[in-house]
Amino acid sequence: MRVAVTAGGTGGHILPALAVVSALRTLESELEARFFGPENRGERTLVEESGLVFETVPSAAVRGKNPWQLAKAAGSLAKGTALALRKLRSFRADVVLSTGGYASFPASLAARVLRIPLVVFLPDVEPGWAVRVEKRLATRVATTTEAARRLLPPEKTYVTGYPVRDAFRLADRAATRQHLGANDDPVLLVAGASQGARAINRALFRALPEMTTRAIVVHITGDADREEAQERAAALPEDRRAAYVHGAFRHDLPDLMVASDLAVMRAGASVLGELPAARLPALLVPGRFAGGHQRANARWLVDGGCAEMLEESRIGELLPRVFSLLDNAERRAEMRDAARRMDRPDAALDIARIVAEVAR
């Protein structure tokens, strides 16, 4: 079976696609998979580390652009679609799997033109513009939440949950906590997203002297704030510097999430699967970009009981909100139980079965 994979430029779109490919390998002994998409946000490294061939297909976002930018974006989409047509035809794909985002659109449109079956997965609660178009082109649609079904074609939509990496199931909480030197101290994970989050980082930097008196703080900053994190760490009293663990990016994020007692995060698509898989209570600060879709993601987790939400406009309340949760072990236990109930451990396999069925 030849599977073409296409996805948006963030981890929330790419990682579930890779998880599905991993599950497909357990179903299909002779599987050849290739990734089709742009490489302007570091996608190639992430994809090739998973063992997939990367085929460059340009794309562009079209939201909120001026006329000149819209024309330029349309040109990129047209160029990407033409290139995807040629590359998909050469690959002789049996099926295309799209997990949304603007980067997925050229290959998805090319699949329709070539009459290749298309499976679209919506990772978020609400579809962005790419999935709103691709759902009409799709042979089957899968989605993370029941809440999304009303926005998708009911006759071909399946609610599967969000596929997460195997690393979440294999993580060793005790070993990671020992490595962090946590002992009985709570571990607070602060992670904006794969690109970092400036508002969250700024609020944490201000609160860091007090935060490190109460918890081991693991901070994933993104590249933009890496140097400031180093400066803030150096400014801490010497006896508290070990309580602040920082880095621009961490490959061991699944281990850190499983080891943590509380997280402060954005509400990109990945949290819908990863927080439940890690049984991790969270305070979510949804971003206000890309149509505000993160707020719908955060609301779904809040309604499910495993998270609380802090609007970015009130980010100054970060410290008391974090302390309130760290001081309330009973509340965090309730949130962990809710996360366990929301977990869909077979999501990747369920989507893989849909892909395999459509390909046949």
| CA–CA distance, 245 with 179 (Å, rounded to integer) | 11
Which superfamily does 2-162+345-359 belong to? Answer: Glycogen Phosphorylase B; (3.40.50.2000)
Name the token pair of 18.
Answer: 């890779």
> What's residue 9's pLDDT?
73
SS3 237: coil
Query: Residue 78's pLDDT band (boundaries 50, 70, 90)?
Result: confident
* Residue 41 burial class via C-beta count within 10 angstroms: exposed 0-12, middle 13-18, buried 19 and up: middle
Q: State residue 195's pLDDT score.
A: 52
Instruction: Read off the pTM.
Output: 0.92
For residues 63 and 152, the model is more confident at 152
- Determine what percent of the chain is predicted with pLDDT higher than 70: 95
Query: Hey, how many other C-beta atoms are within 10 angstroms of the C-beta on 27?
Result: 13
- In the predicted model, is pLDDT for residue 71 greater than 90? no
Helix (H) or strand (E) holding 203, with range, is: helix 198-211
What is the overall mean pLDDT for the chain?
93
What average pLDDT does this structure show over 174-199?
87
pLDDT in tens, 39-60: 876 678 889 988 999 999 988 7
Rg of the chain in Å (alpha carbons):
21
Which has the minimum average pLDDT: 193-197, 290-294, 311-315? 193-197
Distance CA 174, CA 250 (A): 18
Note the pLDDT of residue 12: 85
Domains 2-162+345-359 and 167-342 belong to one CATH topology: yes
Fold of 167-342: Rossmann fold (3.40.50)
Q: Which residues, at least 6 apart from 206, have a Cβ–Cβ distance to it below 8 Å?
A: none
Token output for 178: 């020992």
Q: In whole angstroms, what is the distance from residue 241 CA to residue 235 CA?
A: 9
**pLDDT reported for residue 346:** 97
Q: Which residues pair with 96 in a beta bridge?
A: 4, 118
Residue 309's DSSP bridge partners are 284
Domain residue ranges of the chain, discontinuous segments joined by +: 2-162+345-359, 167-342
